[in-house]
Amino acid sequence: MIKTVLFDLGGVIINIDRDRSVNAFENLGLKDASSYLDCYKQKGFFLELEDGRLDAGGFCTELSRLCGKTITCEQASQAWLSIITEVPLERLSFLKALRKQYRVCLLSNTNPFIMDWAANPDFCGTGSSLYKFFDHLFLSYRMQCVKPDPVIFEKVLATLNDKPGEILFIDDGPANIKAGQDLGMLTYMPVNGTNWIPDVQKILANSVTNRNRSE
């Protein structure tokens, strides 16, 4: 029986385009930006930002060093946020509906720049921050570990006090999905930019049907 639906952020709740952010960092002077920035797990000091080893100020200091000029936190923020292409409102409405029957949580490899934007009361144009749509947010930079490391999933399970088979984990990263599956979670991997809502509805409906048959 599914009790919790655990969502990724980029590529699932919001649509993203990695190349836009790569171009933005290159325009700031980071010539090898593509070697740091990945859709699923960052590398180098980008990873250190997402796993909490660097804060926003430390990231800007390292970015400035590599670019050979001073890069402000505002410039870094704009480069990070350029990865976001759309916040589909139908997905947010779906989250609201889900919370009537399930615990709805977020598990994201993310950083302070993205979350400062997401915490804005009008991040989606409806007067609500991202926090309003979830019961709990598991954020890599606060947890000091990233997907697909099993440690972050173990921390999630300990906090939720759910069995792995009671969680539907939705993520667009193959390695992340495998990590969830290895722990026994039910999983679904949508494609960035597609309408995955009908598929998730079917998974949840089938779960209810199977539960009723077993009773």
What pLDDT digit, counting tens, does each position of 39-98 carry? 778 999 999 999 999 999 999 999 999 999 999 999 999 999 999 999 999 999 999 999
What pLDDT, in 10s, does the model give residues 44-55?
999 999 999 999
Q: Look up the pTM and report it.
A: 0.95
What domains are defined for the chain?
4-15+86-214 (3.40.50.1000), 18-81 (1.10.150.240)
Per-residue tokens: 159 = 């906090």
CA angle 60, 61, 67 (to 5 degrees): 85
Q: Could you list the active site residues?
A: 8
Q: Looking at the predicted structure, is the pLDDT value of residue 161 above 70?
A: yes
pLDDT, residue 215, reads 56
C-beta of residue 207 within 8 angstroms of C-beta of residue 101: no
C-beta of residue 98 within 8 angstroms of C-beta of residue 104: yes
CA angle 59, 63, 64 (to 5 degrees): 120
pLDDT, residue 109, reads 97
